Amino acid sequence: MYISKSFIPILKNNPSEAKIKSHQLMLRVGMIKQSSAGIYSWLPLGFKVMKKIEKIVREEQDKIGAQEILMPTIQSSEIWKESGRYEDYGEEMLRIKDRQSREMLYGPTNEELVTDIFRSSIKSYKSLPQLLYHIQWKFRDEIRPRFGIMRCREFFMKDAYSFDITDDEALFSYNKFFLSYLKTFKRLNLIAIPMAADTGPIGGNLSHEFIILAETGESKIFTDKRIFDLDSEGTELEKKSLETLRKKYEQFYSVTDEKFNKKEFENKVSEKNRLITKGIEVGHIFYFGDKYSKPMGASVDLPGGKKDFVKMGSYGIGVSRLVGAIIEAKYDEKNEIMKWPISIAPYDIAIIPMINKNDNLALDKANKIYSELVKNKIEPLMDDTEENFSSKIKKMNLIGVPFQIIIGKQNDGDLLEFIEIGKETKKIRLQEIISILKKQKEKI
Ligand code: 5CA
């Protein structure tokens, strides 16, 4: 993409309405535009990043055997009356009437709808387990939408649902998602910690929030620092191995505000390991047994001829919130330098030529580099405008493309000035740059 042809509406200064750095940056570099309170349009730069996050989330769901479906955004109130949540959900639910005066709603979550899909087709234990997921817009009429897309009213969520016949099997499903979440966030270059959490309007008695640390986060957390040294390396998609993984994490005290107990915290965690801080909830998983299957009559035939209600869990990731969460984690606001992890960067590399009105040398060279990169499946963003050199660099630093090729006045033959944001400048050949980027992209 050439900057001169792009739709990247950059602002000169930080917008005053934005209180946290992710919101500031997203407005500043034109990733989103507010259309009404808590509702946003996604512009090319923001949309590209969100789509890349979505792809990684999808791949990790597929790896644990979850199957993708797509449910509508608009739901009928009937199924919510069956589960008993139509009243409980209160004002957060956007209620709509159609032309026949039927009560409809814009889905804030999909436990009811997926249970309805399940009960109409699955009749026997032989078809279990089933893991279904979709990635779809949700609407919650939040009382205080704020921080841009971090807490908004319309947001993009991956929600998955599991169906099993026994508690034991259901926990196996729960643990598969536990692992897939650790892997997903790792691929996004984030350290997300699973923490025992409250279940709120979703219900059930087992739940973990996945939290990344950030001063601007809305969740208060109490944790044993040692949990940050753990990872899911070596875990197999198999019952025992997954159980061991969850136990490994659960041995360290780590909870959100609602679950906090001062005595327990002080007893279990020595003073030097205590960490009380704030974080952003990027995922949330729940186990709630037959909370929905029972009132909605979702049962299957058991081996002996009896029937039982299926045991369910649900598993959410805030795909759109992750865009903001990653900025909170990676943006150096003081120096106005963003660095997207290559796995989700809107472009792979920036080409910044110093353009001189009287000769086309730098521009010609930049164009050749551009074509060569594209041929190698590397996506460049080139600043072909006549703006001055230092503002071009500033702009690219803000956009956060992780690598840059600078084409200045100096002619070094085949050698190019190559920068990985945050590191020393190198002088290397284009072929070397291509192989560095290819290697980085393979690791994704
Ligand atoms: N049905 C369950 C699991 S699928 C559920 O809805 N869980 S949730 O309420 O915790 O939402 C899942 C994730 O969506 C959260 O972890 C958060 O990352 C994201 N999310 C929730 N509300 C908002 C909001 N108002 N704005 C942006 N993201 C949100």
Burial of 40 (0-12, 13-18, 19+ CB in 10 A): buried
Torsion of CA 71, 319, 203, 91, to 10 degrees: -80
| Atom number of ligand 1 nearest to Cα 282 | 18
User: 283 C-alpha to center of ligand 1: Å?
Assistant: 7
Do 175 and 246 form a contact (C-beta atoms < 8 A)? yes
Q: What is the pLDDT of residue 358?
A: 74
Q: Whose CA is nearest to atom 14 of ligand 1?
A: 318
Question: Is there a single domain that holds both residue 264 and residue 363?
Answer: no
Helix, strand and coil content of the chain, in percent to the nearest 5, comes to 35, 30, 35
User: 342 C-alpha to center of ligand 1: Å?
Assistant: 26
Per-residue pLDDT of 101-144, as tens digits, reads 999 999 999 999 999 999 999 999 999 999 999 999 999 999 99
Helices of type H across 160-294: 167-187, 239-250, 262-268
Q: What is the pLDDT of residue 169?
A: 96
| Atom number of ligand 1 nearest to Cα 286 | 3
Q: What is the pLDDT of residue 413?
A: 79
**How crowded is residue 374: how many other Cβ atoms within 10 Å of its Cβ?**
11
According to DSSP, the β-strands at 130-139 and 103-106 are: unpaired
Question: Is there a single domain that holds both residue 153 and residue 222?
Answer: yes
Question: Is there a single domain that holds both residue 320 and residue 204?
Answer: yes
Q: What is the pLDDT of residue 58?
A: 98
What one-character DSSP code corresponds to residue 441? H
| Atom number of ligand 1 nearest to Cα 150 | 27
Q: Whose CA is nearest to atom 1 of ligand 1?
A: 109
Mean pLDDT over 357-382 rounds to 92
Question: Is there a single domain that holds both residue 278 and residue 409?
Answer: no
Least confident of 6-15, 69-78, 159-168, 407-416: 407-416
Structural domain total, the chain? 2
Q: Given a cut of 90, is residue 80 above it in pLDDT?
A: yes
Partners of 425 in the beta sheet?
Answer: 419
Q: Given a cut of 90, is residue 210 above it in pLDDT?
A: yes
User: 212 C-alpha to center of ligand 1: Å?
Assistant: 14
Question: Is there a single domain that holds both residue 392 and residue 311?
Answer: no
Residue 335 pLDDT level (bands cut at 50, 70, 90)? very high
Per-residue pLDDT of 374-411, as tens digits, reads 999 999 999 999 898 899 999 999 999 999 999 987 76
User: 379 C-alpha to center of ligand 1: Å?
Assistant: 32
Q: What is the pLDDT of residue 248?
A: 96
Question: Is there a single domain that holds both residue 354 and residue 320?
Answer: no
Question: Is there a single domain that holds both residue 234 and residue 354?
Answer: no
Q: Whose CA is nearest to atom 26 of ligand 1?
A: 151
Q: Over pLDDT 70: what percentage of the chain?
A: 100
Is 91 within a domain?
Answer: yes
Question: Is there a single domain that holds both residue 302 and residue 418?
Answer: no
**How crowded is residue 405: how many other Cβ atoms within 10 Å of its Cβ?**
23
Question: Is there a single domain that holds both residue 257 and residue 127?
Answer: yes
Q: Given a cut of 80, is residue 356 above it in pLDDT?
A: no
Question: Is there a single domain that holds both residue 183 and residue 278?
Answer: yes
Residue 396's CATH number: 3.40.50.800
Residue 34 to residues 40, 42, 267, Cα–Cα distance (Å): 4, 9, 47
Q: Over pLDDT 90: what percentage of the chain?
A: 87
**CA 188/CA 226 separation, integer angstroms:** 21
Domain that holds residue 406: 349-442
Rounded to 5°, angle at Cα 43 from 38 and 47: 90
Q: What is the pLDDT of residue 359?
A: 73
Write down the mean pLDDT value for the chain.
Answer: 94
Q: Whose CA is nearest to atom 7 of ligand 1?
A: 316
Residues in contact with 43: Cβ distance below 8 Å, sequence separation at least 6, in sequence order: 7, 8, 9, 30, 31, 32, 33
pTM of the entire structure? 0.95
Mean pLDDT over 235-264 rounds to 94
Q: Given a cut of 90, is residue 228 above it in pLDDT?
A: yes
Residue 213's CATH number: 3.30.930.10
Q: Which residue has the higher pLDDT, 361 or 210?
A: 210
Task: For CA atoms 378, 379, 385, 388, give the dihedral sign.
Answer: negative
Q: What is the pLDDT of residue 161?
A: 98
User: 318 C-alpha to center of ligand 1: Å?
Assistant: 6
**How crowded is residue 97: how many other Cβ atoms within 10 Å of its Cβ?**
10
Residue closest to 170 by CA, chosen among 283, 292, 267, 260: 292
User: 317 C-alpha to center of ligand 1: Å?
Assistant: 7
Question: Is there a single domain that holds both residue 403 and residue 372?
Answer: yes
> Which residues line ligand 1 at a C-beta cut-off of 6 Å?
109, 111, 140, 142, 151-152, 155, 157, 159, 202, 281-284, 286, 314-316, 318, 321
